[in-house]
Amino acid sequence: MIIKVEKLSKKYGEFEAVKNISFEVERGEVFAILGPNGAGKTTTLEMIEALQPIGGGSITLDGHDVSKSPQAVRHVIGIQLQSSNFYTKMKLREQLEMFASFYHVKVDPNELLAKVDLEEKADAYPENLSGGQRQRFSIATALVHQPKVLFLDEPTTGLDPQARRHLWELIRKIKDSGVTVVLTTHYMEEAELLADRIAVMDEGKIIALDRPEILVQNLLDRGFSKEETVKQADLEDVFIDLTGKELRE
Amino acid sequence: MNYLKTIMVLGKNLLLRFFRDKTALFFTFLFPLIFLFVFGSIFSDSGGASFSVALINNSESEFAAQFVEDSHDNDVLNISDTIDLDEAKEQVGRGELDAIIRLPEDFGQPSGQSPLPRGELTLLYDQSDQQIGQTLSSVLNGVFDEINSELAPSDEPFTVATEQINTANLTQFDYLFSGLVGFSILSLAIFGLSNGLPSDKKTGVLRRLEATPLTAAQLVLATMLVYVVVGLLSVALMYIVGFTVFDATMVGSWVWLLLFILLSIILLLGFGLAIGGWAKNENQASPLANIVAFPMMFLSGVFFPRFLMPDWLQEVSAYIPLTPVVDGVRLIMTEAKTLVDLGPQLLLMGVWTVVIYAIAVRVFRWQ
């Protein structure tokens, strides 16, 4: 277990964004938090990342108490924010060098950019990247210090199907290298494909937490069935079939 | 060690970024020069057909009174109403006056066996302004020649004596230049930074940095370094133009000046860092920047000298952080003062620096 969240809560005035939730994330797994907008996913994530003060309860990350030693936590986590923005007019290689200096490490920008398929963009400015490239670059900045946990907040929102698939590949590779990944998403397909375990949040509470196939099985066990049988292909399959899987950037 | 290295790497990359921003470059480097050209062309023109002189009349004679009256009608002389000799000398030193005419107590009184009035006026001018001295004395001699030829051609009862005073020979431009240097540092610090930091917050760039171990103090210091380099370059450019185009005067040490300007830049940047660091967006930043910058500009002797202010305002404005900066630059450039002489100024600047940076780091917000 690398993250332990206990009785976590957060209030904004009278509004309870997170209500007394507890869960654990295992070392090396991909843990997805699903939920509609306003469910409290981002708030939860930001408290774990030490970006927001913890309202109530406690969070332990890799042995560090997040509220007591946020700096230690920042050294072992990598973060991709929901809307990642980077300094304009600063080349990607310069940005990576800068991020590495925050963690007191040295990186080879080219090697890191190659990892996210952006090696030919080393001298580009972030404002000239496409949406998918930007997300991949954002992940590269989160990996400069070889973090133990990588947080991805809605990493594929707004990307076209090709870019989304490409990013899924990347996330799998990162998982295979032993990094624990915590992500939030709106896309069920994404959660099903990537996540080892899924927490479903709504109105500040975790209403289900398990392996995706078990969540589905539980539903079926309760007698649920779709009115139509699932087709062997859907429109997205058609789209990918027609346009191919190569990235368009 | 790592702490400092982070600041250096961040600062280096932010500096590179700064020099890629054409708009920022224009406003940073060209704007002060435009000001310099505008004010320089207005104030460097000290010559022309008339001279500004102070006329100090210590005599009560009728003749002296008549002379003063006639002088006011003289097209070549622009008579100032200063009465105090020391004050007039200071004004010559600052380039506000070209010379002083002093009428001694016995001027215009008869003396010796002759019943005719006689006297010798003294023309005081700056020793380095020989040309002004010669021109004025010949003008005055001309006036007296006329009077003498009427009164007693052989006797020449009225004469002109000259006296050179040793001021630093400053033109009005020199006086203004140190103010413009202070002004350009202030506007770079306050308007540049109060714009830059909030816009980085709005785009979420700083939020991303907050998620790393980077501290607010490191970001503040790295940003400061960037603007120290930019500020020094901008001031250097002003000096190049000031000396090549407008004949600015420098009697002090360039090393002291450089050190003093460096400390001044660091001090004034603190205000921009505090405002920009605190403000969440430009709407918060720009009114605050104006509230801080404009009183500083007008009260610290940038655009008009503090000695023209009422006494109470002079007392108060002495403690404004821009005042020791402008005074210090002026004292080094025009009176060859060293950093040791500038102890009071440096002390005041030191106190302000500590206070404003403590505030800047404390009020800093990442978003």
Which H or E run includes B199? helix B193-202
Q: Give the model's pLDDT for residue B56.
A: 85
Which percentage of chain B shows pLDDT scores above 70? 94
What's the sign of the alpha-carbon dihedral B250, B251, B254, B258? negative
pLDDT of A87 > 70? The answer is: yes
Q: Residue B117 and residue B64: Cα distance in Å, rounded?
A: 10
Contact B108, B62 (CB under 8 A): yes
Is A97 in contact with B6 (Cβ distance < 8 A)?
no
Whether the pLDDT of residue A249 is over 70: the answer is: no
CB spacing of B14 vs A87 below 8 angstroms: yes
CB contact at 8 A, B110 and B117: yes
A193-203 confidence digits (pLDDT tens): 999 999 999 99
Place of tokens 């997805």: A32
Q: What is the pLDDT of residue B104?
A: 86
| Nearest C-alpha neighbor of B250 from the set B314, B168, B341, B130 | B168
- Contact across the interface for A85 and B203, Cβ inside 8 Å: yes
pLDDT for the residue numbered B128: 67
Q: Which of B251, B243, B247 is nearest to B335 (CA)?
A: B251
Q: What is residue A59's predicted lDDT score, i.e. its pLDDT?
A: 95
Please list every residue in chain A whose beta carbon sits closer than 8 Å to the beta carbon of residue B210: 51
- Cβ atoms of residues B367 and B277 within 8 Å: no
Mean pLDDT of chain A: 89
CB pairs under 8 A between A and B: 65
**Distance, in angstroms, between B25 CA and closest chain A CA?**
13
Residue B343 contacts A where some CB pair is shorter than 8 Å = no
Residue B134 confidence (pLDDT): 79
Buried b (16+ CB within 10 A) or exposed e, A202-219: eebebeebeebeebeeee
Any idea what DSSP says for residue B30? Answer: I
Mean pLDDT across the stretch B220-249?
A: 91
The CA distances from residue B333 to A40, B82, B252, in Å, are: 62, 26, 5
- Please state the rounded mean pLDDT for residues A48-64: 93
Give residue B171's pLDDT.
67
Residues of chain A with Cβ-Cβ distance to B5 below 8 Å are 101, 104
Tell me which DSSP letter residue A230 carries: P
Closest to A84 (Cβ–Cβ): which among B17, B208, B213? Answer: B208
For the stretch B4-31, pLDDT in tens is 999 999 999 999 999 998 888 888 888 8
Long-range contact pairs involving A86-89 (C-beta distance under 8 Å, separation at least 24): A86/A126, A86/A137, A86/A138, A86/A141, A86/B205, A86/B208, A87/A126, A87/B13, A87/B14, A87/B17, A87/B200, A87/B205, A88/A125, A88/A126, A88/A127, A88/B17, A88/B203, A89/A125, A89/A127, A89/B17, A89/B20, A89/B21
In tens, the pLDDT along A70-81 reads 999 999 999 998
Give the residues across from B52 on adjacent strands.
B78
Q: Which helix (H) or strand (E) covers residue B367, if one does?
A: none
Helices first, then strands: H and E counts in chain A: 9, 10
pLDDT band at A228 (very low <50, low <70, confident <90, very high): low
Q: Residue B168 pLDDT more than 60?
A: no
- Write out pLDDT tens, residues B94-147: 777 888 888 888 888 887 767 778 888 888 887 767 777 778 888 888 888 888
- Around Cβ A3, how many Cβ atoms within 10 Å? 21
Name the range with the highest mean pLDDT among A217-226, A230-239, B48-57, B112-121: A217-226
Residue of B nearest to A75 (CA): B213
Give the gap in angstroms from C-alpha A74 to the nearest C-alpha of chain B: 6
* Distances in whole angstroms, Cα of residue B164 to Cα of each of B7, B50, B93, B132, B206: 55, 20, 12, 11, 62
Q: Considering only residues B58 and B234, tell me which one the structure prediction assigns the higher pLDDT.
A: B234
Q: Please check whether residue B6 touches A, CB under 8 A.
A: yes
Rounded CA-CA distance B94/B333 in Å is 12
Contact A65, A78 (CB under 8 A): no
Q: Taking CA B235 as the corner, what is the angle to CA B231 and CA B238, rounded to the nearest 5 degrees?
A: 145
User: pTM (2 decimals)?
Assistant: 0.78
Q: How many Å lie between the alpha carbon of A100 and the closest alpha carbon of chain B? A: 9
Binned at pLDDT 50, 70 and 90, residue B231 comes out as very high
pLDDT tens digit sequence for A130-148: 888 998 899 999 999 999 9
Closest to B214 (Cβ–Cβ): which among A49, A85, A102? A102
- Alpha-carbon distance of A125 to B19, in angstroms, equals 14
B20 interface with A at CB cutoff 8 Å: yes
Mean pLDDT of chain B: 85
ipTM: 0.87
